[in-house]
Structures are given as structure tokens and as C-alpha cells.
Amino acid sequence: MGKSKVAPSKSVTVPRLELSAAVMSIKVETFLAKELVYEDITHVYWTDSKVVLGDVNNDAKRFHVFVANRIQHIGEVSQPSQWRHVKSSDNPADIASRGTGVTELLQNEQWWNGPDFLLIDKPLSTTNTQFRLAPDDPEVRKSEVNVFATKVETNHDHLSDVLKRFSSWNRST
């Protein structure tokens, strides 16, 4: 099954579009699982975005709302170990986005059959630990730590004077 979506007219960054595509793949898998009856099948998700793989494999950083909501949705359905990297040249989803004409698309084996490595019994296994968030990733929420130090000088005489002025802590009217 193939599905595509037109980018919104509002300006959205490419990493956010890639993350939205990852969410779409989760939705397609959920739809197919409801429609098709199959047992003992392993779900593997492929993306050519190293940013998405870094986001999916992240377990320590907090994201801005847009990214956090999509990562949460992905995490509810899949595990980071199910996500794999595919080179852009082997990604059939990119064929349609490159302005391929209908005649060329009809003759494109990769479009109709997928990349050759999927036909192998054990497809490429990439270690997702190599895909980590960049330290300067703009989608990671910056955490601020404020430290305040105060020096309190106590004047016991003043405190005892204040305490002596009141007979009880409860004020009667």
C-alpha cells in the first residue's frame, strides 16, 4: 500500500515533514492490521530521515509540542528497534516526490516492487543507536536551570520581639 500527502501551505521544516510521514506510516500499519488477518508478523518501519530515527530513539530529551506529540504517537504503536534507515536512493516513496512522470513511474521496478534488499530473507539490519539527536537540534526544548543563592542574616533579637508582640498565631477579630 502506498500513501502520500501534499505538504501544507504553511511553512513547515523538512524534519517536521519527515516526522509527519513517519506518523503516517504508523497510521497505515494500524489500518492494515485492522483490515488484514495475519499472525506472527514483524513490523518494520523504514525512513530515509536520520533526524526521525534520532527522535524515535531519544529517551532523554524533551521536545517542543509538535514533535513531542508525534513522537508520543509513534511510541504508542512501535518500538525504536522496529525503525530502520534506508538510503534515499533506495526509498520508493521518494520517487513520486521527485517529479517522476507517469510513463517513467509505470516502468519503475522499484516503485512497484520496492527496493531489492526487501526481497532478501534477512533485510538490512541497521543499529539504530548510531542515530542520535544532534546537540543543537532546534526541536529539543532548551532546559533552563536557575540557581538562586541568598544569604539570610538572622537577628534573633528582632525575631523574638516580633514573637512576643503576639499572644497566639491565630488572630481574633
- Average of per-residue pLDDT values in the chain: 79
Comparing 162 with 9, the larger pLDDT belongs to 9
Identify the pLDDT of residue 132: 61
Q: Which three cell numbers stand for residue 2?
A: 502506498
Show me where the domains of the chain are located: 14-142
CB-based contact 81:56 (threshold 8 Å): no
67-82 burial, b at 16+ Cβ within 10 Å, e below that, comes to: beebbeebeebbebeb
pTM strictly above 0.85: no
pLDDT at site 154: 58
- Could you write out the DSSP letters of every residue in 95-142? HHHTT--HHHHHT-HHHHH--GGGGSSS-----GGG----TT-TTBPP
Residue 123 pLDDT > 60: no
At position 21, the amino acid (one-letter code) is A
> In the prediction, which pLDDT does 74 show?
93
* pLDDT winner (highest mean) among 90-94, 103-107, 130-134, 146-150: 103-107
